[in-house]
Structure 1
Amino acid sequence: MNPAETMSKKILQYAIGQDASDIHFSPLSKQTDIYLRIQGNRIFYKTIPTSTYQLLLTFYKFTSAMDIGETRKPQNGTITFQFADQFFDLRLSTLPVKQMESLAIRILPQQEGLSLHQLFLFPNQLHHLLSWITRRSGLILINGPTGSGKTTMLYAILHALQRQKSFQTITLEDPIEKDLEQVLQVQINEKAGITYQSGFKAALRHDPDIIMVGEIRDSPTAKFALEASLSGHLVLSTIHASHALGTLYRLKSLGLMMTDLQQALIAIASIQLIPFETVKHGLKRAAILELLDESLLSTYFQKDVNWQIKKYHSFTHLRKKAFAYGFITKETFLDLQE
């Protein structure tokens, strides 16, 4: 085992042991700082000489099938790493900075993920979600910042659906973050001509019951998702928006008509992870959701000015509720308010 491989193993094992989701290498002129993303916080880990980092970067680029000689363009690659009895997919991304390249590694556990029951801070929000996924057609959207658990939630939903019944399920992902049994997973590869749009067209020819789109990024993908949901398919996807209501404005900016959305949308969930202490496992994170279900959406589309007074619970309301119930400390509550 060469020195770069040995160092890589130590860094990865430490990061996994700390339950880190990401590793950031930030190169300076003579040193490179390494940070870990743990429970949503970016925490300093250690400093290594930049000369050592260059050897480490070369090792990562070689093992993940990147172009070692290319330093002027961003690159992506994937490595499988085993620690103890668990396997992890490592998603690597380089970014040119000044005369060097920074490196970010996303750590994706491949063992069976959390169930839906383990994801939510408030059980009643889970009950709402379970009622949505009993529908045979329509559009369910999840939004939230990077690392908030959108894909984890989608995988958990698909797992719950497959346990109910044998559905023909197809996913379009960039990248595929975890292998799912009894699910047809399509890796988006724009260089090879496999875009979300072309993948959508091909998926519809496979008679799917459920289609999961990793992310609605542009107008054509949004329109395909809408058309599929209106033609008898259950479509699940994520979209970037600041909050649940902001999703509607985002969809409108992508060219979708509110009249079509009124027919297709089952619900919108905006996700935020908040840290809380557990007796058995210490600090963990669970999801709170801003929920727009059909009843709220219908009153919104009807332009009822009082649509959100009684039922719509914002993140501010939910954080106050978590603090009142003793799920989070006052310090955590104040930090989340900032």
Structure 2
Amino acid sequence: MKPDHLSNHIIHDAIQKGATDVHFSPEEVDVTIHFRINGYRWFYKRIPLTDYQTLLSYYKFTSGMDIAENRIPQDGTIPVSINHDAYHLRLSTLPLTSTESLAIRILPKNKSPTINELFLFPRQTESLLSWIQNKAGIILFTGPTGSGKSSTMFALMKEAIKRYGYQTISLEDPIERDVDQILQVQVNEKAGFSYDVGLKAALRHDPDIITVGEVRDEATAQFAFRAALTGHLVLTTVHAKNAHGTIERLLEMGLTKTELHQTIIGIAAQQLIPLSKTLQEQRGYSRLAIAELLEGESLTRSIKGFPPENNSHFHTFHQLRRKAYAYGYSTQSY
């Protein structure tokens, strides 16, 4: 089978099964393919190693990677159309002893849920919507890969544009989906166009909202917080284990407690949980988000170094999961 046909076959099956990711794991003579569905990794099939090598070369060439380079990780994107629906494939390679592994994230190009469709508990949506009433400050989203934090950030940003007509600039690496009424800027670290450089350029375009795909380092963190201090609403993601851990992560990046106190509007640490069959039919999704929300008094105490678990206004992931199960919303007990 030609590599483009093999690719279409695999991606088509992945989309039909509701997969968000495809994993290729090379072994001695063949390659195991897994799909990630509803957060779990499921075996799909095996293909010969020779077929995989041809497919890998096709993917690397099509996505703009260096075909000859197999000693360092690479990433790229490919636009595809499956059953008349448009998708972006975000590819990532990892060098192994004699070949490379490959992971593909499947991103719908035009399908994106609204902020009202993302969360299991409506009050959490209401809290996020109250945050975008602020004209300056920073809103942070955190959670593991695949938790939906970027989807939440974009949904909230689109709602802000709808309600308030904000001029919005988004710095992304890579651009995952096209969004109307947003100036989307592709960050290119290899070419010297970093988040830091992009942020400086974005400020010259008189934005109301700036989104940063991810605060990865001290320089980007410092600049994002300075943008918030100078009268802009900044939305960004940070890698941390939970809401309070986000505070610790930012302090590690060199920000002061005073800067955090003056700029942070709220922190949403997010997880996805599986829904009961009844709720799946009602909401049209197999998983929805729950979030630890740090705001107000809980946020102030967390910045001072006091974990928020003892604050009655703060709900931990454990409490939210138990609540979801008790209400019959989720299929998992805790």
Q: Which category of TM-score, normalised to the shorter sequence, fits these structures? A: over 0.9
Aligned to 1:138: 137
Whether contact under 8 Å (2:309, 2:315) holds in the other structure is: no
Aligned to 2:333: 333
SS in 2 for 1:318: helix
Cα distance in 2, alignment partners of residues 303 and 213 from structure 1: 26
What is the identity, as a one-letter code, of the residue corresponding to 1:40? G
Whether contact under 8 Å (2:116, 2:122) holds in the other structure is: yes
Aligned to 1:187: 186
Aligned to 2:38: 39
Cα distance in 1, alignment partners of residues 62 and 237 from structure 2: 31
Whether contact under 8 Å (1:300, 1:307) holds in the other structure is: no
Return closer, same or farther for 1:51/1:321 CA change in 2, 3 Å cut-off. Answer: same
Cα distance in 1, alignment partners of residues 51 and 303 from structure 2: 58
Cα distance in 2, alignment partners of residues 254 and 303 from structure 1: 16
Whether contact under 8 Å (2:244, 2:302) holds in the other structure is: no
Displacement of 1:104 after TM fit?
0.9
Aligned to 2:101: 102
Aligned to 1:316: 318
Whether contact under 8 Å (1:66, 1:77) holds in the other structure is: yes
Return closer, same or farther for 1:28/1:302 CA change in 2, 3 Å cut-off. Answer: closer
Q: Which runs of 5+ in 1 are unaligned?
A: none
TM-score normalized with structure 1 length: 0.94
Cα distance in 1, alignment partners of residues 271 and 155 from structure 2: 16
SS in 2 for 1:333: coil
Aligned to 2:110: 111
Query: Is 1:259 matched up with 2:246?
Result: no
Cα distance in 2, alignment partners of residues 216 and 246 from structure 1: 14
Q: More deviation in 316-325 or 64-73?
A: 64-73
Displacement of 1:295 after TM fit?
2.8
Aligned to 2:207: 208
Return closer, same or farther for 1:103/1:306 CA change in 2, 3 Å cut-off. Answer: closer
Cα distance in 2, alignment partners of residues 268 and 72 from structure 1: 38
Return closer, same or farther for 1:164/1:59 CA change in 2, 3 Å cut-off. Answer: same
Cα distance in 2, alignment partners of residues 242 and 127 from structure 1: 23
Aligned to 1:291: 293
What is the identity, as a one-letter code, of the residue corresponding to 1:53? Y
Whether contact under 8 Å (1:71, 1:96) holds in the other structure is: yes
Q: More deviation in 315-324 or 290-299?
A: 290-299
Query: Over the residues paired in the alignment, what is the CA RMSD in angstroms?
Result: 1.7
What is the identity, as a one-letter code, of the residue corresponding to 2:158? H
- % identity of equivalent residues: 50
SS in 2 for 1:51: helix
Measured against aligned partners, the alpha-carbon deviations of 1:260-304 in whole angstroms (never above 9, x if no partner) come to: 211111011100100113442776110000011123223445677
Aligned to 2:236: 237
What is the identity, as a one-letter code, of the residue corresponding to 2:26? P
User: Superposed, which structure 2 residues align to 1:56-135 within 5 Å?
Assistant: 56-135=55-134
Q: Which runs of 5+ in 2 are unaligned?
A: none
Measured against aligned partners, the alpha-carbon deviations of 1:145-177 in whole angstroms (never above 9, x if no partner) come to: 001001101110111011112211111111111
Cα distance in 2, alignment partners of residues 3 and 188 from structure 1: 33
Displacement of 1:64 after TM fit?
1.7
Q: More deviation in 305-314 or 119-128?
A: 305-314
Displacement of 1:208 after TM fit?
0.8
Cα distance in 2, alignment partners of residues 199 and 132 from structure 1: 25
TM-score normalized with structure 2 length: 0.95
4+ runs of 1 displaced by more than 3 Å? Answer: 299-308
Aligned to 2:177: 178
Cα distance in 2, alignment partners of residues 300 and 217 from structure 1: 21
Q: More deviation in 67-76 or 289-298?
A: 67-76
Task: Give the number of equivalent residue pairs.
Answer: 331
Displacement of 1:308 after TM fit?
3.4
What is the identity, as a one-letter code, of the residue corresponding to 2:329? F
Whether contact under 8 Å (2:272, 2:287) holds in the other structure is: yes
Whether contact under 8 Å (2:110, 2:178) holds in the other structure is: no
SS in 1 for 2:321: helix
Return closer, same or farther for 1:311/1:276 CA change in 2, 3 Å cut-off. Answer: same
Measured against aligned partners, the alpha-carbon deviations of 1:210-261 in whole angstroms (never above 9, x if no partner) come to: 0001111111111111111111100000001111001111111111110121
Return closer, same or farther for 1:299/1:93 CA change in 2, 3 Å cut-off. Answer: closer
Cα distance in 1, alignment partners of residues 11 and 30 from structure 2: 19
Measured against aligned partners, the alpha-carbon deviations of 1:82-125 in whole angstroms (never above 9, x if no partner) come to: 01121001111111111011111111101230011110000011
Cα distance in 2, alignment partners of residues 306 and 190 from structure 1: 36
Aligned to 1:155: 154
SS in 2 for 1:200: helix
Whether contact under 8 Å (1:265, 1:294) holds in the other structure is: no
Displacement of 1:65 after TM fit?
2.3
Return closer, same or farther for 1:260/1:45 CA change in 2, 3 Å cut-off. Answer: same
Return closer, same or farther for 1:305/1:66 CA change in 2, 3 Å cut-off. Answer: closer
